């Protein structure tokens, strides 16, 4: 193999790669010798057919496969021998006539183009000064959480036959759904327990049952949302013939030791302690989110190097698809598309820059994602995707999704990337000078300033 560097401008690299016909023929002969003992040909004992004969029979087909393999191998080698890492998939462009190469009449020659990852020195993170906002858990939060638990444990008692249903009452109902007078699949139920105000049914359904009494027959009219998961119902008007079998009032649940025992704990003090620990954990996650954002800001400000255009363009396209599918924020409504694209292009550049910086810091520090953590994350993702697809009407098991990930390294890398990012962030925080600053609960709950969710969605 011969590799000639044709151009090197910034991060752009172009090579001319040559593989002689003799090298290709050697690979072909070696491949034929490998399969020789497995081939049965008329007129020859098994494994005794000469390579020259096999070449006439199978040479062209095998050579096509060999050429594909050689292009892949030599493309990688062209960069690795120069200690360069492609930022995007290298693009080979064949110069030789493929028919002549297959027939052994010409050398394999092709141009190879790709951007490479930039070489840079990451900033020293030791002693990096960061502020972490923290907040005390107010007793009101604990009381509110206990009240929510109590409401989840609520029981219901039948009201009188003339009592009108109120919000938070439970109705025992039978219903039949129809579109254009015809029943539709999944629109029928008997003995269903519906709590008014719970939002279990589509908008407007529960409101029309407020005031109903035991024995009432109510015609409920609704319109399915445009984005409804069952596409055959999305956006359509429907009626439901509802029979109210019983109206039940919620019975007050006392927040005491008995409530704690209902949820599997020994006492109210134990329940309060568990609730407070959970809220404290939520607060710690919020504090870390703010701290991470501050860290990313510092890393972004501390680095300035050329970015691979292909990576930025790909990141921008992903962000822009999110923007187009979402409703515009108030602050974006008066901006032109060009203005918005300029803003989100900067976000794409920041995300690529930070991704490269974190990757380099992690590489130099030998940060690893334990295989056990990775496998757990893959299993969680498989469960979530299987549930989502099931909601869309596609019957697929978590095992099928898991098999997909096991067979696709690229998909696994997408799961590993955010885990690696968090490990690197932890590594930097451990070496930084972090000062805690007490703030109010409301301040802690605020979104980090700046590019918020779009930026934090991933690097």
What confidence score (pLDDT) does residue 269 get? 95
Write out the two tokens for 207: 């409101």
Write out the two tokens for 265: 């704990």
Question: Is-contact 166 145, C-beta < 8 A?
Answer: no
What is the pLDDT averaged over residues 308-325? 92
What pTM was estimated for this model as a whole?
0.74
Q: Does domain 2-115 have CATH number 3.40.50.300?
A: no
Pick the closest to residue 309 from 456, 116, 78, 459 (CA basis). 116
What is the pLDDT averaged over residues 267-275? 95
What confidence score (pLDDT) does residue 452 get? 43
Highest mean pLDDT among 36-40, 131-135, 186-190, 393-397: 131-135
The segment(s) of the chain belonging to CATH 3.10.50.40 are 154-251
β partners of residue 8? 13
Task: Decide if pLDDT at 60 tops 90.
Answer: no
Write out the two tokens for 319: 């962000």
Q: What's the topology of domain 283-456?
A: Trigger factor, domain 2 (1.10.3120)
Task: Decide if pLDDT at 129 tops 90.
Answer: yes
Reported residue count of the chain is 459
pLDDT in tens, 90-103: 989 999 999 999 98
Question: Distance between CA atoms of 261 and 272, rounded to whole angstroms?
Answer: 12
pLDDT band at 107 (very low <50, low <70, confident <90, very high): very high
Q: Are strands 217-223 and 237-251 parallel, antiparallel or unpaired?
A: antiparallel
What is the pLDDT averaged over residues 242-251? 94
What confidence score (pLDDT) does residue 152 get? 85
Question: Distance between CA atoms of 58 and 96, rounded to whole angstroms?
Answer: 22
Give the number of other Cβ atoms within 10 Å of residue 142's Cβ. Answer: 17
What confidence score (pLDDT) does residue 456 get? 44
What confidence score (pLDDT) does residue 220 get? 95
Question: Is-contact 112 15, C-beta < 8 A?
Answer: yes
Task: Decide if pLDDT at 407 tops 90.
Answer: no
Dihedrals φ, ψ of 33, to 5°?
Answer: -65, -30
Question: Distance between CA atoms of 412 and 407, rounded to whole angstroms?
Answer: 9
What confidence score (pLDDT) does residue 127 get? 85
Q: What contacts 70, CB < 8 A, 6 or more positions away?
A: 19, 24, 27, 108
What is the pLDDT averaged over residues 138-142? 93
Question: Distance between CA atoms of 314 and 455, rounded to whole angstroms?
Answer: 15
Task: Decide if pLDDT at 46 tops 90.
Answer: no
Write out the two tokens for 167: 């919000």
What confidence score (pLDDT) does residue 454 get? 41
pLDDT band at 455 (very low <50, low <70, confident <90, very high): very low
How much is the mean pLDDT over the chain?
A: 89
Q: Is 126 helix (H, G, I), strand (E, B) or coil?
A: coil
What confidence score (pLDDT) does residue 50 get? 72
What is the pLDDT averaged over residues 200-208? 92
Q: Are strands 237-251 and 170-179 parallel, antiparallel or unpaired?
A: antiparallel
Q: Does domain 154-251 have CATH number 3.50.30.30?
A: no
Pick the closest to residue 287 from 389, 154, 405, 134 (CA basis). 134
What confidence score (pLDDT) does residue 310 get? 93
pLDDT in tens, 175-187: 999 999 999 988 8
Q: Is 41 helix (H, G, I), strand (E, B) or coil?
A: coil
Write out the two tokens for 204: 């407007």
| Minimum mean pLDDT range among 163-172, 271-280, 310-319, 447-456 | 447-456
The segment(s) of the chain belonging to CATH 3.30.70.1050 are 2-115
Question: Which CA distances in Å does 406 have to 130, 236, 401, 411, 413?
Answer: 39, 40, 9, 8, 11
Q: What contacts 426, CB < 8 A, 6 or more positions away?
A: none
Question: Is-contact 312 11, C-beta < 8 A?
Answer: no
| Percentage, residues of the chain above pLDDT 70 | 94
Question: Distance between CA atoms of 316 and 352, rounded to whole angstroms?
Answer: 10
The segment(s) of the chain belonging to CATH 1.10.3120.10 are 283-456
Ranges of beta strands (E only) in 86-168 are: 91-94, 108-115, 129-134, 155-158
């Amino acid at each position: 193999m011969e590799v000639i560097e044709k151009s090197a401008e910034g991060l752009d690299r172009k090579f001319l790669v040559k593989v002689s016909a003799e090298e290709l023929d050697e690979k072909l002969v070696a491949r034929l010798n490998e399969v020789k003992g497995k081939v049965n040909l008329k007129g020859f004992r098994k494994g005794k057919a000469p390579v020259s004969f096999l070449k006439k029979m199978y040479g062209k087909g095998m050579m096509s496969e060999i050429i594909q393999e050689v292009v892949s191998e030599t493309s990688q080698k062209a960069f690795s021998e120069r200690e360069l890492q492609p930022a995007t998939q290298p693009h080979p462009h064949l110069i030789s006539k493929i028919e002549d190469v297959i027939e052994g009449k010409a050398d394999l020659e092709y141009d190879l183009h790709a951007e490479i990852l930039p070489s840079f020195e990451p900033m020293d993170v030791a002693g990096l000064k960061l502020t972490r906002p923290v907040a005390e858990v107010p007793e009101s939060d604990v009381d509110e959480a206990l009240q929510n638990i109590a409401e989840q444990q609520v029981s219901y008692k039948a009201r009188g036959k003339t009592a009108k249903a109120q919000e938070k009452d439970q109705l025992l109902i039978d219903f039949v759904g129809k579109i254009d007078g015809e029943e539709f699949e999944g629109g029928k139920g008997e003995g269903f327990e519906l709590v008014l105000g719970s939002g279990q049914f589509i908008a407007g359904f529960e409101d029309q049952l407020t005031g109903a009494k035991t024995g009432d027959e109510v015609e409920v009219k609704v319109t399915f949302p445009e984005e409804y998961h069952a596409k055959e119902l999305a956006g359509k008007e429907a009626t439901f013939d509802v029979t109210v079998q019983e109206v039940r009032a919620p019975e007050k649940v006392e927040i005491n030791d008995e409530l704690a025992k209902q949820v599997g704990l020994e006492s109210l003090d134990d329940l309060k302690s568990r609730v407070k620990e959970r809220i404290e954990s939520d607060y710690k996650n919020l504090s870390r989110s703010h701290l991470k954002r501050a860290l990313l800001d510092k890393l972004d400000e501390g680095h300035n190097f050329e970015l691979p255009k292909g990576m930025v363009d790909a990141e921008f396209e992903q962000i822009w698809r999110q923007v187009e599918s979402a409703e515009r924020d108030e602050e974006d409504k008066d901006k032109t598309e060009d203005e918005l694209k300029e803003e989100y292009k900067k976000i794409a550049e920041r995300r690529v820059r930070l991704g490269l910086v974190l990757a380099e810091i992690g590489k130099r520090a030998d940060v690893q994602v334990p295989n056990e953590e990775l496998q757990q994350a893959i299993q969680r993702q498989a469960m979530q995707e299987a549930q989502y697809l099931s909601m869309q009407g596609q019957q697929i098991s978590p095992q099928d999704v898991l098999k997909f990930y096991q067979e696709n390294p690229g998909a696994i890398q997408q799961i590993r990337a955010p885990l690696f990012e968090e490990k690197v962030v932890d590594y930097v925080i451990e070496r930084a000078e972090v000062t805690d600053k007490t703030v109010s609960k409301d301040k802690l709950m605020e979104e980090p300033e700046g590019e918020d969710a779009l930026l934090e969605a991933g690097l």
